Amino acid sequence: MQFDPTLLETYHTLLQTTDLQKAYQEWLRMFRYLRGALEQQLPRYRFQGSVNENGMDYAYFSFADSLLKKNGLKLVAVFVPERFQLEVWLSGVNRVAQCRWASRLGSCPPPMECSSDPARTDYLVRLPVEADLADGEAVVQAMKHAVEQLLALLSLQ
């Protein structure tokens, strides 16, 4: 198996000439804090055990209460490194549930974005979260607000 030597050298250079490793560790500390704080402040929800990192495409953790779970839905806190953006996603527990809900949801107000193909995406609706990532409590409150906005789309409450 062959690997791209230019990309490997770029990574090596970044590690030697920047604080990439420390910056990543700090970001991960913030995202883990977010998960723990949301778990404490949203006690009716069950949270996935850990933060999942997906090859720097995005990192996430999911959570759901009994009503969401019963309806085949979950919420997902997501960080998209490419855009350096936090988001909250409303997702199906699987693609079948997600497609079933997509046909029921209809449109969503901006800045929410409905999936154009719920059979191929990991979300039904995604909502960007605006907050200063250095201010942990502000991030937690902004995420909670985004959760409330997404839940308002559903007629489950």
Confidence grade of residue 156 (pLDDT, cut at 50, 70, 90): low
The count of domains in the chain is: 1
Over residues 128-144, the pLDDT tens digits come to 999 999 999 999 999 99
Over residues 49-72, the pLDDT tens digits come to 889 988 888 999 999 999 999 999
Over residues 1-38, the pLDDT tens digits come to 999 999 999 999 999 999 999 999 999 999 999 999 99
Considering the chain, what is the average pLDDT of its residues?
A: 94
Please tell me the distance from the alpha carbon of residue 92 to that of residue 98, in angstroms, as a whole number.
4
Chain centroid to Cα 154, Å, comes to 19
CA dihedral 41, 128, 111, 95 (to 10 degrees): -90
> Domain range holding 72?
5-153
3-state helix, strand, coil in the chain (%, to 5): 45, 20, 35
DSSP conformation class of 48: P
pTM of the predicted model, to two decimals?
0.91
